[in-house]
Amino acid sequence: MIDKIVLELEKKYKDKPHRLEHVYGVRDTALEFGKKFNLDLDKLELASLLHDMTKYYSHEHHVEVIQEHFENSEEILKKFNPQILHAFSARIYAQEH
C-alpha cells in the first residue's frame, strides 16, 4: 500500500518538488518519533504520506467535503484557517482510498 501511495504522490507532485520533499520530511520525522515513543510505524507512515494529499484542492472543494462528512462542519469552517482545511479533506481522502 505504501508503494502505491508513494507512486501517487510522485505523480501528483511531479511539478511541485518542494511539496514532495515536505511530505517525505514529515514522514521521516513521524517515523523518528514513532520509534522513540514505540508507536505503530505503519499507521504513522500512512498518515504522514497522506496528510497533504488534498493540499491543492480548491477552497470550495474543501468546504464541500467538510460539509458532507463532518457533523460539526460549521464549527470547523469557523474555527480553522482556510489554509489548513486540507487536513480535514485529506482525512476523508485517506478513508475513501
pLDDT digits (tens, 9 = 90+) for 7-60: 999 999 999 999 999 999 999 999 999 999 999 999 999 999 999 999 999 999
Cα–Cα distance for residue pair 28/22, rounded to 1 Å: 10
How much is the pLDDT for 97? Answer: 85
Domain range list for the chain: 1-52, 57-97
Identify whether the C-beta of residue 53 lies closer than 8 Å to the C-beta of residue 16. Answer: no
Pick the closest to residue 61 from 23, 90, 97, 94 (CA basis).
90
Write the CA distances from 81 to 10, 31, 50, 53, 71, integer angstroms: 27, 27, 20, 18, 18
In terms of phi and psi (left: phi > 0; alpha: psi -120 to 50; beta: otherwise), the region of 52 is alpha
How much is the pLDDT for 1? Answer: 87
